[in-house]
Structure 1
Amino acid sequence: FSLAVKRVFDKLQSEAVEEGKDKDFNFEFKLSTNDIRPDRNDSVEEIEPAIEVEKYIQKFGSSYREILKKLAEQIPPLDSSTKITVCIPVAAHEEQNFIYNTLKTLNLQTLSKDLFEVVILANYPKFSKQVRKIKLDDTMSEIERFKKDFPELKVNVLFAEMVDNAAKIGNIRAILSDVACLRWHERQIDQDHFLMRFDADTLNIHPEALGYYLRVFEKNPNVDGLGGPVSITPDFALRHPIGFVGGALFNLLSKRLAAKTKQFKPQGPNTLLRIGVYAKVGGYLSDFNCGEGVDLDFAVIDLRHKSSQFRAFMHTGASTRLITSERRGEVASTKATYGSQWSLRATEFGTLNKGIRSGEIKVKKKLEE
């Protein structure tokens, strides 16, 4: 992956909406890899989350820290009982056909709703390449509909307009998780916390998953992160057998490698990480268009590669299985490229086919011409 990191956007202006009022943000990248990742040769053992999160926050530039504070003001403080924050990046102008179901899969979790929350970063482009205003579809309405239908699930929404090159998935995941770090730090409770990587197009996840994750963490205090299996739908396997076989082969090789090296490597979403470890390795790198989770996971593996006491990741098996949308597979098989955060832009989610982004339901509102 290219690691050509720009230190700061040249005052890239964007807006977020809080209770109907516009607020200005100057989006900037976090520090570069060399500044933020620990030395691989360092021997790291026990990590104190409160100390590491405070150190991590202190590394933020003043503009970036102000962004996080203003975004955090849009939602309530972190509850004292909350142990898991499920972080979901949502393209606010084109996820209307996925987001309700994604949230519903989390509402079906058997874990007490007091023990976890969902935080969404609803982001959408302020301008197109032709400097034309972008119109929202019903994504935000679907989120609000879900919150009314299932008020018992804590769903907190951060909302921000972004200029085009701020919408890198690495930047969006970094902002999401860094806001979680800031809220956890402000809570001032010496209790470990877990950040879950999740996608807006998740079709299903085992109803026992979150509870199982917590139990495994409690029984294995020497494990930094957990990852469950990620599966695709049978329909995709039938339509794209080569892609299905390739994915199955990749999973098989990954398992054999994990058995040989005694080191499991997670697969994208459905991954949880202790907040102190996230902070220790410097979180997500903002300049990644894709592969941001892989990069973060390898940073954790590097952190522990000399440790005799601690383990980076553990696989949790079928009790935490997640089924994801096949749209990324569609992009890879038809365009030989990755899918990005926004479609219908310069990136076009790797394809001109709107169905890959919007699913079977037709888009109710089109972007302004």
Structure 2
Amino acid sequence: MSNKLCVVICSHQRQSLLRKTLDYLNQAQRPLLELQICVVANACSDGTQQMLEQYHQDHSGSIKLIWLDEPKAGKSIALNRALAHLPDWHIALVDDDHRVDSQYLMQVERALLIWPQADLICGRIVPDWDGSEPNWVHLKSDYAIYPLPIPDYSLGAKPLVLASQHRLPGGGNLVLRQGLFGKVGGFAEDLGPTGHNLCGGEDGEFVSRVMAHQGIIQYTPEIVQFHYVDPERLRLIYLLTKAFQRSCSVVMLSSPLSSPIPKYLWRKLLSYLFHIIFSLHWPKTRFYMMRCAAVAGEMCGYYRQRRE
């Protein structure tokens, strides 16, 4: 097994959050593995490159930092650039708006050692709530908003090997064993966010491709990252846009090519509109607005797939 671990962070226009993420990583307990951090500055014009160069110079006792400048916008493009640059390393993916806990690096090393058969390892992603968020994000009523616009991934407190019935992880907390990139290929560059738009799907497509290659995906709840809660993500317009784009991406990934828009989607759309018009209860109205946006996204996915 390779004894080298590289934490890869792709960042676009988030200099201040990125710096905090680097600080959290350097505050974490360090494993015995050879360790480094690789940051890809993806189409950044906010001084990220200068911050990284200064960080590299000023933190001589910190984890070794290398950084790459990728001018072409696209998270998948940035990820593939980093992975191609690190063929002999295990790769731990951390988003630029994440906080790792103090045992994160130790738990990654432990997982690589005790599950040598695992091609891909995933951990938990927990919203980093600070008490300023609105109460509705914690409600468990019939009209609760789900999934939340803040990544939240957990399959419980016990390790398990993922199967087809399990919810697939996102890309924010994955560990790629050395050689996986060469075996299954990289991230789909026609999917995923470009800049800070809400497109996604590149991580789900990659994880699905690992499973299609009979790869073993190990869920390890001890590997924890906390996702920054941006107040903008809790605004209604963000919720609706995210629901639309998420559903569009899912359909484009999973439905057969050139499938027509199913008739049942039109019925669902009309039903949800009826609830919106005649509801006198705001949580119910918001819930069905989300459902409307999601159905519209599904329909858009079928339309775009046929057109493209």
Q: TM-score per shorter chain, which class?
A: 0.5 to 0.7
Quote how far apart the aligned CAs of 1:331 are: 7.1
Matched, 1:337 2:246: no
Q: Give the % identical residues.
A: 19
Matched, 1:150 2:59: yes
Residues 1:82 and 1:108: Cα distance change in structure 2 (over 3 Å): farther
Residues 1:328 and 1:239: Cα distance change in structure 2 (over 3 Å): closer
Matched, 1:284 2:187: yes
Matched, 1:140 2:49: yes
Alpha-carbon distance in structure 2 between the residues aligned to 1:118 and 1:197: 10
Residues 1:147 and 1:253: Cα distance change in structure 2 (over 3 Å): closer
Quote how far apart the aligned CAs of 1:106 are: 1.1
Contact 1:331 1:338 in 2 (8 A): no
Contact 1:88 1:200 in 2 (8 A): yes
Alpha-carbon distance in structure 2 between the residues aligned to 1:217 and 1:171: 26
Matched, 1:294 2:204: yes
Matched, 1:200 2:103: no
Aligned match of 1:100: 19
Q: How does 1:282-361 map to 2 (within 5 A)?
A: 282-289=185-192, 290-304=200-214, 312-317=216-221, 319-327=222-230, 330=233, 333-335=236-238, 336-338=240-242
Alpha-carbon distance in structure 2 between the residues aligned to 1:274 and 1:88: 16
Contact 2:161 2:219 in 1 (8 A): no
Quote how far apart the aligned CAs of 1:213 are: 1.6
Work out which of the residue numbers 171, 184, 187 in structure 2 matches 1:268: 171
Alpha-carbon distance in structure 1 between the residues aligned to 2:242 and 2:95: 15
C-alpha RMSD of matched pairs (Å): 3.6
Alpha-carbon distance in structure 1 between the residues aligned to 2:106 and 2:183: 25
Matched, 1:180 2:75: no
Contact 1:113 1:154 in 2 (8 A): no
Residues 1:113 and 1:223: Cα distance change in structure 2 (over 3 Å): closer
1:322 aligned partner, one-letter code: Q
Work out which of the residue numbers 19, 22, 36 in structure 2 matches 1:117: 36
Quote how far apart the aligned CAs of 1:198 are: 1.5
Alpha-carbon distance in structure 2 between the residues aligned to 1:225 and 1:259: 10
Quote how far apart the aligned CAs of 1:323 are: 0.7
TM-score normalised by structure 2 residue count: 0.62
Return 5+ residue gaps in structure 1 as ranges.
Answer: 1-48, 50-80, 126-135, 185-192, 305-310, 341-369
Aligned match of 1:89: 10
Larger relative contact order, structure 1 or 2 (CA cutoff 8 Å, min sep 6): 1
Quote how far apart the aligned CAs of 1:322 are: 0.7
Q: Secondary structure at the match of 2:102?
A: coil
- Displaced runs of 4+ in structure 1, greater than 6 A? 250-253, 256-260
Quote how far apart the aligned CAs of 1:330 are: 0.3
Contact 2:126 2:226 in 1 (8 A): yes
2:49 aligned partner, one-letter code: M
Q: Secondary structure at the match of 2:213?
A: helix
Alpha-carbon distance in structure 1 between the residues aligned to 2:218 and 2:49: 35
Residues 1:291 and 1:111: Cα distance change in structure 2 (over 3 Å): same
1:159-186 per-position Cα deviation (integer Å, ceiling 9, x unaligned): 1333xxxx122222111212222xx3xx
Pairs aligned (count): 226
Contact 1:258 1:264 in 2 (8 A): no
